[in-house]
């Protein structure tokens, strides 16, 4: 029982540190040079901003202001062994189609994972090879 309470406390501390870095007033921004899919919505190339909309960090607002697009997405927080070296947006690329899959915050071991779209799931089922594309972002 004591061990599980310690594990829970450590999880809460690490999650709290990540939320402090991607709080509701902090925005991750990046210039995305290609169109991509988020959920089942196509998002054109342009400046992308990402911001937490919940205190727990479980939902993100992802916006492309030039295209007048704002999307809410749930996220899963995965912990890595070492902190991210920079802020980054992570995309999965299948041929010429891109899917936003994750967000990394500099200095944090938490990676925000976005759910796969129906289209990406279908491409995976067809065994289409994917590569990972990482775009450097900044905190504002």
Cα separation, 50 vs 27, in Å, equals 5
pTM value surpassing 0.75: yes
Q: Provide the residue count of the chain.
A: 140
Cα separation, 102 vs 92, in Å, equals 9
Q: What are phi and psi of 98, to 5 degrees?
A: -115, 145
Question: What's the mean pLDDT when you consider all of the chain?
Answer: 83
Q: Which residue has the higher pLDDT, 42 or 65?
A: 42
Question: Domain of 34?
Answer: 2-139
The DSSP output letter for 114 is P
Angle at 34 between CA 133 and CA 117, to 5 degrees: 70
pLDDT band, residue 22 (cuts 50/70/90): low
Beta partners for residue 29, in sequence order: 49, 138
């Amino acid at each position: 029982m004591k061990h599980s309470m310690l594990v829970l406390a450590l999880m809460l501390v690490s999650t709290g540190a990540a939320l402090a870095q991607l709080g509701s007033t902090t925005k991750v921004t990046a210039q995305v040079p290609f169109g991509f899919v988020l959920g089942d919505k196509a998002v054109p190339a342009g400046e992308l901003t990402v911001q937490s909309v919940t205190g727990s960090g479980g939902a993100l607002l992802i916006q492309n202001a030039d295209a007048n697009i704002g999307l809410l997405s749930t996220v899963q927080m995965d912990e890595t062994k070492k902190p991210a070296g920079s802020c980054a947006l992570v995309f999965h690329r299948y041929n010429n189609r891109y899917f936003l899959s994750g967000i990394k915050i500099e200095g944090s071991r938490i990676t925000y994972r976005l759910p796969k779209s129906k289209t990406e799931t279908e491409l995976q089922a067809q065994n289409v090879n994917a590569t990972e594309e990482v775009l450097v972002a900044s905190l504002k």
